[in-house]
Amino acid sequence: MTDSPLPFRVGFGYDIHPFAEGRPLVLGGVTIPSPRGLAGHSDADVLTHALADAILGASGLPDIGHYFPNFDPTIKGIDSQKILVRAVTEAAERGYVIGNVDLTLIAESPKIAPHLTAIKERLGKSLGIAPGEIGLKATTNEKLGSLGRNEGIAAHAVVLLMRRA
Binding site for Mg ion (CB under 5 A): 15, 49
Q: Residues 7, 49: contact at Cβ < 8 Å?
A: no
- Compute CA 8 distance to the chain's CA centroid, rounded to the nearest angstrom: 20
- Rounded Cα distance between 101 and 162, Å, is 12
- Rounded Cα distance between 70 and 15, Å, is 14
- Residue whose CB is nearest to Mg ion in the complex, by number: 49
Smallest gap, in angstroms, from Cβ of residue 42 to Mg ion?
Answer: 7
- Which residue's CB is nearer to Mg ion, number 64 or number 91? 64
- Which residue's CB is nearer to Mg ion, number 53 or number 90? 53
Smallest gap, in angstroms, from Cβ of residue 12 to Mg ion?
Answer: 15
Smallest gap, in angstroms, from Cβ of residue 24 to Mg ion?
Answer: 15
* CA atoms within 13 Å, Cβ hemisphere of 131: 8
- Which residue's CB is nearer to Mg ion, number 9 or number 49? 49
